[in-house]
Amino acid sequence: MDDSQITTFEPGRLSIPSEMVAEIAAGLEEPRDIAFRYGIAGKSWDELQSWVPFQNAVAAQKAEFEKSGFTFKIKAKVLTEDVFEEAYRHAKGNNSTLLQKLEFIKVGAKLADMEPKNTVQEQAGPGFSITINLGSPPAPKEKTIDLDESDIHTPGERQGIPAE
């Protein structure tokens, strides 16, 4: 007798796919419908859902999903996809204003990850630099400049300067 012919739930004979437990824990569909896709229906489903180890597995998976934020994210994604279709039809219609169409484009670009990206420096966080000094630089040679009076004074000023 194969599993499809089991009329009563026998924990030792029935293996429960972890994917089914995860789908039920996510809560996006009726558990009965999910179990049906995995070939568990009728009395077998009724007995399975009342089996404490199964309930514990679903509860543990649900707690893990909630802790990680997965449940919220997946439900938000499903809602977004459902509402997006309606918003698309509205934005394409003749009754929507230009501002509504522009807002839809803005949201659509964000959801489609089409917004301009930050530069690499901005993504890396605050900038920093490293300076490495390998010894001190050589001291500059002293330069001397020879100036005579004509370089310092105008011809009018030179006439008033006493000779040395």
**What's residue 1's pLDDT?**
42
Looking at the fold, whether 61 and 79 belong to one and the same domain comes out as: no
Is 146 part of a structural domain of the chain? Answer: no
How many whole angstroms separate alpha carbon 108 and alpha carbon 115? 10
Looking at the fold, whether 60 and 84 belong to one and the same domain comes out as: no
Could you list the mean pLDDT of each consecutive 10-residue stretch along the chain, which spans 164 residues?
47 73 91 93 90 91 90 81 84 87 84 73 62 69 62 60 58
> Among all chains, which residue has been given the structure tokens 């918003």?
87
Looking at the fold, whether 64 and 82 belong to one and the same domain comes out as: no
The distance from CA 126 to its chain's CA centroid, rounded to whole angstroms, is 20
**What's residue 12's pLDDT?**
54
Is 91 part of a structural domain of the chain? Answer: yes
Q: What is the DSSP string of the chain?
A: --GGG--S--TTT----HHHHHHHHHTSS-HHHHHHHTT--HHHHHHHHH-HHHHHHHHHHHHHHHHHTHHHHHHHHHHHHHHHHHHHHHHHSTTS-HHHHHHHHHHHHHHTT-SPPPPHHHHH-S--------SPPPPPPP------HHHHS-HHHHHTSPP-
Token readout for 63 is 């707690």
pTM over 0.85: no
**What's residue 145's pLDDT?**
61
Token readout for 150 is 């004509």
**What's residue 154's pLDDT?**
62
Secondary structure letter of residue 29 according to DSSP: S
Quote the number of domains for the chain.
Answer: 2
Is 152 part of a structural domain of the chain? Answer: no
Looking at the fold, whether 46 and 75 belong to one and the same domain comes out as: no
Looking at the fold, whether 11 and 59 belong to one and the same domain comes out as: yes
Consecutive H or E run containing 124:
helix 120-124
Burial letters for 87-103: b for 16+ Cβ neighbours within 10 Å, e otherwise?
A: beeebeeeeeeeeeeee
Residue 95 lies in domain: 70-117
